[in-house]
């Protein structure tokens, strides 16, 4: 569950000029540089401030997730090009009924502190994540496991875990350690794609050291991955070094990776041009115009369609009732000229979204949003009038100021204002951590930008974590019992075609409620210095660090 922070680039163009003539130019579809390099050395990469301490079960965004993906290996690994899952730490994952799973862990894998990875490390980590009072951001991912409900707080008020609201159990009845290298998982209902999910960060194992001091662990996590964390210099950098004891199949080539934390994308891009930074994971829109980045970085750029979607989410009704009416939400969506914004701000490096699921996953169906995602100012204005107009003083669209979202959000507001005749203001929040904290604390009013980088390659991952009742990344508190029921039926389906059909039916319901406005499907564009080679964009829109090396 990666609420993305930098998948939409910055633009050096006034939003007032949005509806002027568009820019031309295409973009490369190459996603790698094939040259062989040398082993060893160090590289620097564009980074940003993680929202939370670096604990896999409490990290749900790319600032922290990109780091943890190098520090923690998981039961399953996703192929960089196709996202196809294959066993990593798992010797085997077996089931006869899609409800009872037996997982065998490979022997001899060690954490960075020298302790051996065992089955109990997964069971302990999953129980900790699922236990409500621990407040883990990714706790929702364990909902399918039998006994999850008994681990949740039931009280009201500011502290639902106080007094009688305390959970009735501390461990999941659906988890059991069989021996040192075997554990079993029983789900409440059939979950046909559970093995596919197990490569996501939330399912990583935790060493005993975590439970001894969770707070200290969050500053310097101990994983099993190809890199270990040496230092987290808050607001400045996160430094990783190669794990000499890594025994997996996906070791990195360089000895050291430093994520340099920037407040804006433009300085990072300029540092790549000056060879003061080795990889920038997005391109500022000022460099997208007329494909300027290609001449700035000849043979040092790549682009790939990825499992990413950008959306706009409405604050929960109890936080801001001005957006409660689905007609108001649909009118705002129809008032957004996605095509022109894509042309003029992004130089056609985005794909205007027609639904809530990325085209890169099996089960995608086009035009699920229908006319609500088609720019039509006349229909938008008529629909808003039908709803009785907008009740607030102005429409607001908030964004994190450190992610390069200023220009496109301003352009979006300009389009809304012109179509609906209602003032719309784009408002920046200082950084991603603060931005997400305000959303999580339900203090963010109006609309706010949201993004999703798939955790695993499944249509389910674009629907359940974001829009199912009570899901951890359901930022707008959307709830539709019929939608939830279809998701449950799809998860239990043993036939993939049947499951996808049910997920598609669930997605189609969203057009009536419009809990989110689909904006763009992702294309990730990167650039790099002339010191490195082998830079490849994965299907998730991240860097494949197993391939990067110095020339």
pLDDT in tens, 210-245: 999 999 999 999 999 999 999 999 999 999 999 999
Distances (CA, A) of 123 to 185, 335, 354, 455: 9, 48, 40, 20
Q: How many CB atoms lie within 10 A of CB 42?
A: 15
Residue environment code for 243-278, b if the CB has 16+ CB neighbours within 10 A, otherwise e: beebebebbbbbbbbbbbbbbebbbbbbbbbeeebb
Q: Which DSSP string corresponds to 393-447?
A: S-EEEEEETTTT-HHHHHHHHHHHHHHH-S-EEEEEES-HHHHHHHHHTT---SE
Sort 425 into a burial class: Cβ within 10 Å, 0-12 / 13-18 / 19+: middle
Pick the last residue of a domain from 195, 214, 233: 214
- Residue 133 neighbours by CB under 8 Å, 6+ apart: 153, 161, 166, 167
Residue 227 belongs to some domain of the structure: no
Domain count within the chain: 2
The two structure tokens encoding residue 142: 């364990």
**Same-domain check for residues 208 and 311:** no
Residue 118 belongs to some domain of the structure: yes
Domain around 443: 305-524
Residue 422 belongs to some domain of the structure: yes
Chain CA centroid to CA 187, Å = 25
**Same-domain check for residues 320 and 468:** yes
The two structure tokens encoding residue 45: 């990469």
Predicted local distance difference test score (pLDDT) of residue 16: 31
**Same-domain check for residues 325 and 471:** yes
Residue environment code for 197-220, b if the CB has 16+ CB neighbours within 10 A, otherwise e: bbbbbbbbbbbebbeeeeeebbeb
Query: Dihedral sign, CA of 20, 21, 22, 24?
Result: negative
Predicted local distance difference test score (pLDDT) of residue 11: 27
Closest by CA position to 312, among listed 379, 372, 391, 265: 372
**Same-domain check for residues 321 and 204:** no
Angle between helices 377-386 and 326-334 (to 10 degrees): 160
Predicted local distance difference test score (pLDDT) of residue 47: 94
Residue 469 belongs to some domain of the structure: yes
* Strands ordered across the beta sheet of 100-105: 90-95, 100-105, 182-186, 175-179
Distances (CA, A) of 178 to 87, 146, 300: 20, 17, 50
Q: How many CB atoms lie within 10 A of CB 148?
A: 22
Closest by CA position to 111, among listed 209, 218, 183: 209
Give the Cα separation of 241 and 243 in Å (integer). 6
SS3 content of the chain, % helix, strand, coil (to 5): 30, 20, 45
Predicted local distance difference test score (pLDDT) of residue 32: 53
**Same-domain check for residues 310 and 203:** no
Contact 13, 288 (CB under 8 A): no
Give the Cα separation of 229 and 348 in Å (integer). 37
| Longest pairwise C-alpha distance within the chain | 67
Distances (CA, A) of 363 to 318, 459, 471, 487: 34, 6, 21, 13
H or E, element range at 129:
helix 119-130
Chain CA centroid to CA 251, Å = 24
Contact 275, 44 (CB under 8 A): no
Predicted local distance difference test score (pLDDT) of residue 347: 86
Q: What is the DSSP letter of 227?
A: E
pTM of this prediction?
Answer: 0.78
Residue 81 belongs to some domain of the structure: yes
Contact 457, 541 (CB under 8 A): no
Residue 478 belongs to some domain of the structure: yes
Pick the last residue of a domain from 199, 214, 229: 214
**Same-domain check for residues 97 and 202:** yes
> CATH number, domain at 477?
3.10.105.10
Residue 404 belongs to some domain of the structure: yes
**Same-domain check for residues 310 and 205:** no
Residue 40 belongs to some domain of the structure: no
> CATH number, domain at 126?
3.90.76.10
Question: How, if at all, do strands 549-550 and 301-314 pair?
Answer: unpaired
Predicted local distance difference test score (pLDDT) of residue 33: 52
Predicted local distance difference test score (pLDDT) of residue 160: 87
- Residue 193 neighbours by CB under 8 Å, 6+ apart: 456, 458, 460, 491, 499
**Same-domain check for residues 206 and 345:** no
Q: Which mean pLDDT values do the consecutive 10-residue runs of the chain (551 residues) have?
A: 35 29 34 68 95 93 93 96 93 95 97 98 98 93 95 87 91 98 95 92 97 96 98 96 94 97 93 97 88 95 92 97 98 98 90 95 95 98 97 96 88 97 96 90 96 88 94 92 95 88 98 97 93 94 95 93
The two structure tokens encoding residue 409: 């959000």
Pick the last residue of a domain from 214, 239, 268: 214
Q: What is the DSSP letter of 233?
A: E
């Amino acid at each position: 569950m990666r609420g993305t922070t930098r998948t939409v680039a910055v633009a050096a163009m006034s939003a007032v000029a949005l509806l002027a003539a568009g820019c031309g130019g295409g973009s490369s579809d190459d996603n790698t540089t094939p040259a062989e390099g040398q082993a060893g050395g160090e590289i620097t990469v564009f980074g940003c401030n993680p929202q939370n301490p670096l604990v896999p079960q409490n990290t749900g965004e790319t600032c922290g997730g990109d780091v943890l993906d190098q520090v923690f290996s998981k039961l399953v690994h996703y192929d960089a090009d196709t996202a196809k899952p294959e066993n990593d730490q798992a010797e085997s994952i077996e089931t006869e009924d899609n409800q009872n799973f037996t997982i065998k862990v490979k022997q001899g894998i060690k954490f960075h502190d020298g302790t051996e990875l065992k089955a109990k490390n997964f069971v302990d980590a999953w129980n900790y994540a699922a236990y409500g009072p621990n407040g883990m951001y990714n706790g929702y991912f364990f909902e399918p496991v039998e006994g999850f409900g008994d681990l949740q707080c039931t009280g009201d008020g500011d502290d639902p875990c106080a007094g009688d609201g305390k959970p009735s159990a501390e461990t999941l009845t659906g988890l059991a350690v069989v021996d040192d290298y075997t554990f079993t998982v029983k789900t409440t209902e059939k979950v046909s794609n559970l093995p596919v999910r197990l490569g996501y960060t939330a399912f990583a194992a935790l060493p005993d050291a975590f439970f001894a001091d969770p707070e200290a662990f969050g500053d310097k996590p101990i994983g099993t991955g190809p890199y270990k964390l040496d230092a987290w210099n808050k607001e400045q950098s996160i430094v990783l070094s190669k794990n000499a004891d890594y025994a997996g199949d996906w070791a990195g080539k360089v000895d050291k990776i430093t994520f340099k934390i920037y407040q804006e994308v433009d300085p990072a891009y300029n540092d790549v041009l000056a060879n003061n930074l080795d990889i920038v994971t997005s391109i500022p829109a000022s460099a997208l115009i007329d494909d300027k980045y290609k001449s700035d970085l000849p043979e040092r750029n790549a682009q790939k369609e990825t499992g990413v979607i950008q959306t706009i989410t409405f604050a929960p009704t109890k936080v801001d009732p001005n957006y409660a009416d689905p007609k108001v939400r649909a009118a705002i969506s129809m008032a957004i000229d996605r095509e022109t914004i894509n042309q003029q701000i992004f130089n056609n490096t985005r794909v205007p979204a027609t639904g809530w699921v990325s085209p890169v996953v099996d089960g995608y169906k086009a035009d699920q949003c229908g006319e609500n995602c088609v720019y039509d100012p006349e229909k938008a204005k008529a629909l808003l009038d039908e709803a009785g107009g907008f009740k607030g003083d102005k429409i607001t669209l908030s964004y994190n100021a450190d992610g390069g979202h200023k220009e496109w959000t301003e352009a979006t507001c300009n389009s809304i204002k012109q179509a609906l005749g209602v003032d719309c203001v784009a408002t920046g929040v200082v950084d991603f951590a603060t931005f997400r904290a305000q959303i999580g604390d339900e203090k963010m009013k109006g609309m706010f930008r949201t993004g999703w980088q798939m955790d695993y390659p499944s249509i389910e991952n674009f629907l359940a974590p974001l829009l199912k009742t009570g899901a951890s990344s359901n930022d707008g508190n959307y709830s539709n019992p019929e939608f939830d029921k279809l998701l449950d039926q799809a998860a239990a389906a043993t036939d993939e075609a049947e499951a996808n059909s049910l997920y598609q039916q669930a997605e189609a319901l969203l057009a009536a409620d419009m809990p989110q406005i689909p904006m763009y499907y992702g294309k990730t564009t990167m650039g790099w210095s002339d010191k490195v080679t082998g830079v490849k964009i994965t299907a998730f829109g991240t860097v494949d660090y197993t391939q990067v090396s110095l020339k």
